[in-house]
Chain A
């Protein structure tokens, strides 16, 4: 029986527009793109030219510091554009799909070499710093979270259905590099998860962000200074399993298209980097809508012509809300608003009510005024408020002492949501980690 870890702190946000458990297919948009920005901490070096013919699994760009880490094309076709921005910063490499979906064939038996060549390694993130993993380091453990507790997120148990063998194959192979820890939700019952082999299964019972791998690490075996762990998304484990089974890459995902502005929220079979235009056509309501690569808590705003981010397991659409004029918000009852605070009335409606939240910040940014707000939704043994202050003041020793190596920006998402001072916690943590990485390099 797996060990059950109960978490009390956190917050489940009940948003309207959850994806129904049915999978639809979507017409191939013909264009795919891989954006280096999706891989935090990466210095990309392009290895293809416009007009090159590539197969799925051929590298598009590599890590300048570790050229063996490659980021591969999800489809076969022709490189249509190497998009650059200011100061020639690489924005994306686009591939025009030839509709043949041919893949490079991988034959190596060495797990690490296969991970690197097939591009799966680029999907692995490391703690500390929450960046693309460094292949020269040996991790203490590899952590995989089999559920995402953020609102509107993909239900991995549904996605796993029919791909159990690939998932297990991926886990078994990863366990040859380092011990694998699998975090499972207490609501999940699939045998492929609760009885997964070649890994230690931990069951987490609690509100969001219990599904965050960082929270799970903190409760399983917290990271100390000098230690490294790797984390990998559960669906990426399946992708790796496919390569192990067939020798070919298949970067398909089953993503949730969800949110209050989606007409019929459900699951779609797409590939990493796929252009969102065909997926969103006719599905997203007219008007001022914010399309998000990922869930509303950790995802990044994109547009209807954007591309599916590398790690995104869902695409969500919510109202932008820039035109909403709410009068005297400081005193009106505002029944439609969701708040954890009892000066609003959402406590009256219980946890069953689904909310439509727009993307307004709903307040001005202030210094940190209230105390204990973060602690209520931050299920780690870390003083979140003090850590944020240490990052703002640039006190590196104190950041280390307070446990910055254990956190990633996403762990602060719920705290950022409830923050009455409207501080940008995820951005602050990201900047702190970047500075720390530079200092320690």
Chain B
């Protein structure tokens, strides 16, 4: 098989695809190069990305269940049919995952073939995050467009995974948010699946609309205690994967234990958000307590899975504290002070993606100055 896909072979056009599948099935057998170490740690970027996907699964599965739960709740359906609710959610979410992967990986394969590089695994994570951070009613063609935009313009033109400035998944969401606002928040009808799929679920009356609790808070409505409880378990309307703090927490544990996500970034996001939430308690029409910000909307999901993206976050160890802290601060600031946007996590992370190199610059420059001073002193 291999000779056919090599340079000059019949199927050379599929070289990157073959390579991708082969390294997926077997650990590459290339042995150590001249002038380098002769042994290597077993870790590679495939393993890391796979574990991020593993960490995302609890939130994804819970998100599917919640899609069915919200549908049944809105239609007044049978709330004890848990399997049915999950299956409905699966049927609603799976097409989005498939579209996201086909479009994104398709572009990756083409680019890899063109640049004669190996397929990069980065999109394995982005591709599953993207369906999790959009409302359940996002049309598939819009999703496909957004994925294509972000993979090409947020990642590949910068040189692929590891070279991008902005988190590709968030760029997808930002693209949707600004280009198709009605499909993203609109009239609050986007958060709950409205129609039956393959006979699963229920048809919801056309007039039905459900705002997210965060949306309610922005317009000045009080958030009842049970809503906060539901927000912790995740049984509230919202983007597919962002609702359950418990499921996200499970993912966070895996990421922190394996050391893939930096605890410094993650902790600092919560510290920054908490501090800002405390300062702004009662400001404006917002009636949220400081810790409510953690459990509502995409704060926890963003802090755990998006802020900690190693490529777009600060790379110096001290910089990670500042980077995370400012994400928390900005996210809560947008939520509370800007009446137009109920959610601020996406914008906060994208903004700090932009500032991460500046934060690093300060710390690297400190090291450089120290070295320069040492030379002068002598």
A-side contacts of B310, CB under 8 Å: 369-371
Query: B27 touches which one: A297, A326, A366, A372 (CB < 8 A)?
Result: A326
Instruction: List, in ascending order, chain A residues with CB within 8 A of B368's CB.
Output: 401-402
Q: In the complex the two chains form, is A342's CB within 8 Å of B39's CB?
A: no
Measured between beta carbons, the chain A residues less than 8 angstroms from B118 are 364-366
Q: Contact partner of A364 among B23, B163, B315, CB < 8 A?
A: B23
* CB of B47 within 8 Å of the partner chain: yes
Check A417 for interface membership: any CB of B closer than 8 A. Answer: yes
- Please name the residue on chain B nearest to A297 by beta carbon: B37
Residues of chain A within 8 A (CB-CB) of B26 are 325-329
Residues 137 to 166 of chain B near chain A (Cβ within 8 Å): 159-163
Q: Mark B31-43, 1 if CB is under 8 A from A, else 0.
A: 1111111111111
Judge whether B259 is part of the interface by a CB distance below 8 angstroms: yes
How distant is the Cα of A420 from the Cα of B45 in the complex, in angstroms?
6
The listed residue (A357, A360, A369, A371) touching B45 by CB distance below 8 A is A369
**Cross-chain contact of B259 among A341, A409, A413 (Cβ < 8 A):** A341
A321 with B364: CB separation less than 8 A: no
A-B residue pair count with CB separations less than 8 angstroms: 218
Whether a CB of chain A sits under 8 angstroms from the CB of B24 is: yes
Binds A, one of B97-105, B168-176, B205-213, B369-377: B369-377
A369 CA to B30 CA, complexed, in Å: 21
- Docked Cα-Cα span, A382 to B311, in Å, equals 20
Closest residue on chain B to residue A140 by CB atoms? B378
Neighbouring A residues of B378 by C-beta, 8 Å? 224, 227
Chain A: which residue is nearest B370 at the CB level?
A: A381
A-chain residues with CB within 8 Å of residue B49 when the two chains form the complex:
330
Q: Are A421 and B45 in contact (CB under 8 A)?
A: yes
Is the CB–CB distance between A402 and B163 below 8 Å? no
The CA of A415 and the CA of B315, in the complex, are separated in Å by 16
Whose C-beta in chain B lies nearest to the C-beta of A370?
A: B310
Q: Does B328 belong to the interface (CB within 8 Å)?
A: no
Q: Does A135 contact B (CB under 8 A)?
A: no
Q: CB within 8 A of A344: which of B37, B42, B121, B260?
A: B42
Interface residues of A in 301-315 (CB under 8 A from B): 301
State the CA gap A403–B364 with chains docked (Å). Answer: 11
Pick the residue among A323, A339, A401, A403 that contacts B42 (CB under 8 A). Answer: A339
What are the residues of chain A within 8 A of B42 when measuring CB–CB? 329, 334, 337-339, 341, 344, 362
Of the candidates B24, B46, B371, which one forms a contact with A403 in the assembled complex, judged by CB atoms under 8 Å apart? Answer: B371
B316 sits at the interface (CB 8 A): yes
Number of interface residues of A (CB under 8 A): 77
Bound together, the chains give a CA A360 to CA B26 distance in angstroms of: 12
A290: CB under 8 A from chain B? yes
**Cβ contact within 8 Å between A320 and B39:** no
Decide if A222 is an interface residue (CB 8 Å cutoff). Answer: yes
CB nearest to A288 among chain B residues: B31
Which of B45, B161, B310, B317 has the most chain A CB atoms closer than 10 A to its own CB?
B45
Tell me the chain A residues, 359-412 only, with Cβ under 8 Å from chain B: 359-372, 375, 381-383, 385-386, 401-403, 409
B interface residue numbers (CB < 8 A to A): 23-51, 118, 120-122, 159-163, 257-260, 262, 310-311, 313-317, 364, 367-368, 370-372, 374-375, 378
Give the 8 A-B residue pairs with the shortest CB-CB distance, closest first: A363-B44, A367-B162, A329-B27, A337-B42, A224-B375, A371-B315, A330-B46, A326-B27
Given contacts A327-B25, A341-B41, 17 further A-B contacts (CB under 8 A): A222-B374, A225-B375, A300-B34, A321-B31, A329-B44, A330-B50, A339-B42, A341-B47, A342-B257, A343-B258, A344-B42, A362-B44, A369-B162, A420-B44, A421-B162, A426-B37, A430-B35
